[in-house]
């Protein structure tokens, strides 16, 4: 509007075309204000709504994970989630139209995606890389009890957890052609390098991983007696135990002749006779 005020000075009012020029200036100012000024706030409002929508969806997922960690997969209740977060059931279904099934699916997929990133290629020596990978796996399972319980539920079902099977296929499919294949390829290369370097016997990567995963899951759910009370110390203790177990599992099997069934009783009887 400063341009209009300057245009309306007394010395300019008598010039030809004063009225037309003034009208043009006023129209341009109005058009400029209508075109530019209202748009910025509207963009901000839409952005805030998207952020709010995204944050609410994430909060629902986090609360569902907390409930699964506390009560298992069967203990997931959408009504309790709505009450804890202060949202209506309609709002919850707005974020997750599939309801309980879709939420379990999201939590299960997050668990598998975490496993898929295990044993990253750090470029270090094979033995150190394996040890670091075991530490990372134990830490991941310990810090995410909801993922752990979803995996245990998947293990207990002959055809796998239905919410997970729909996404990654039946048990074994993800390891062969799906989401977990890159991780198994990395682990297989690592075990092969250790075998070639005389640092372990040749081992199938899936057999090795399943053994390690099963032992870690069971010891987290049912910790052995005498474990430290501190969570950090308990995780560190489990990491060392899993590393020791894995390295012992990779030790070459001795080729020494084992005593036969007939030799053992004779030696036993000879020792008793003397």
pTM higher than 0.75: no
Q: Which residues have a Cβ under 8 Å from the Cβ of 186 and sit 6 or more positions away?
A: 119, 120, 121
Q: Distances from the Cα of 218 to the Cαs of 41, 152, 157, 191, 212, in angstroms?
A: 54, 9, 16, 24, 10
Q: Which residue has the higher pLDDT, 15 or 227?
A: 227
The answer to whether residues 147 and 111 touch, using CB atoms and an 8 Å cutoff, is yes
Q: How many CB atoms lie within 10 A of CB 38?
A: 9
- At 113, the pLDDT band (50, 70, 90 cuts) reads very high
By C-alpha distance, which of 58, 145, 50 is closest to 103? 58
At the fourth CATH level, which superfamily is domain 107-250?
Tetracycline Repressor, domain 2 (1.10.357.10)
Q: How far is it, in rounded angstroms, from Cα 155 to Cα 165?
A: 12
Q: Which residue has the higher pLDDT, 259 or 84?
A: 84
- At 154, the pLDDT band (50, 70, 90 cuts) reads very high
Q: How far is it, in rounded angstroms, from Cα 42 to Cα 53?
A: 17
Residue 230 gets the label, from left (phi > 0), alpha (psi -120 to 50) or beta, of beta
Q: How far is it, in rounded angstroms, from Cα 115 to Cα 206?
A: 13
- The tokens describing 208, both together, are 């090795």
Asked whether the predicted pLDDT for residue 175 surpasses 80, the reply is yes
- Alpha-helical segments (H) within 37-144: 39-71, 78-85, 89-95, 100-116, 126-143
In the chain, where does the domain assigned CATH 1.10.357.10 lie? 107-250
Q: Taking all residues of the chain, what is their mean pLDDT, rounded to a whole number?
A: 80
The answer to whether residues 7 and 22 touch, using CB atoms and an 8 Å cutoff, is yes
Return the pLDDT at 162: 93
The answer to whether residues 155 and 259 touch, using CB atoms and an 8 Å cutoff, is no
Q: How many CB atoms lie within 10 A of CB 264?
A: 11
20-38 pLDDT, tens digit per residue, is 554 565 555 544 444 434 4
The answer to whether residues 59 and 44 touch, using CB atoms and an 8 Å cutoff, is no
- The tokens describing 203, both together, are 């081992």
- The tokens describing 212, both together, are 């390690």
Asked whether the predicted pLDDT for residue 44 surpasses 50, the reply is no
What would you report as the CA-atom Rg of the chain, rounded to the nearest whole angstrom? 33
Dihedral sign computed on CA atoms, order 165, 221, 144, 234 = negative
Asked whether the predicted pLDDT for residue 11 surpasses 60, the reply is no
In the chain, where does the domain assigned CATH 1.10.10 lie? 47-97
Q: Distances from the Cα of 118 to the Cαs of 22, 156, 206, in angstroms?
A: 71, 22, 13
234-261 pLDDT, tens digit per residue, is 999 999 999 999 999 998 876 444 555 5
By C-alpha distance, which of 195, 190, 193 is closest to 209? 190
Architecture of domain 47-97: Orthogonal Bundle (1.10)
Tokens 């998947």 belong to residue: 154
Percentage of the chain modeled with pLDDT above 70: 73
CA end-to-end distance (rounded Å), the chain: 119
Tokens 């990253």 belong to residue: 120
Q: How many residues does the chain have?
A: 274
């Amino acid at each position: 509007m400063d341009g209009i005020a300057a245009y309306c000075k007394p010395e300019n009012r008598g010039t030809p075309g004063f009225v037309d020029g003034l009208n043009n200036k006023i129209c341009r100012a109005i058009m400029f204000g209508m075109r530019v000024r209202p748009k910025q706030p509207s963009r901000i409002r839409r952005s805030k709504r998207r952020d709010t929508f995204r944050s609410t969806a994430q909060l629902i997922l986090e609360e569902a994970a907390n409930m699964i960690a506390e009560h298992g997969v069967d203990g997931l209740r959408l009504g309790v989630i709505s009450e804890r977060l202060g949202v209506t059931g309609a709002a919850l279904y707005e974020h997750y139209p599939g309801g309980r099934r879709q939420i379990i699916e999201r939590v299960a997929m997050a668990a598998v995606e975490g496993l898929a990133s295990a044993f990253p290629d750090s470029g270090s020596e094979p033995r150190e890389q394996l040890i670091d990978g075991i530490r990372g796996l134990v830490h991941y399972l310990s810090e995410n009890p909801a993922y752990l319980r979803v995996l245990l539920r998947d293990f207990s079902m002959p055809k796998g957890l239905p919410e997970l099977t729909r996404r990654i296929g039946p048990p074994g499919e993800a390891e062969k052609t799906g989401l977990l294949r890159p991780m198994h390829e990395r682990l297989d290369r690592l075990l092969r390098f250790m075998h070639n370097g005389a640092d372990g016997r040749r081992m199938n990567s899936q057999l090795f991983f399943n053994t390690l995963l099963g032992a870690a899951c069971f010891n987290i759910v049912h910790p052995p007696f005498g474990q430290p009370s501190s969570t950090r110390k308990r995780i560190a203790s489990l990491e060392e135990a899993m590393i020791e177990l894995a390295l012992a599992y990779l030790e070459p099997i001795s080729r020494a002749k084992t005593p036969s069934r007939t030799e053992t009783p004779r030696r036993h009887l000879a020792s008793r006779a003397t």
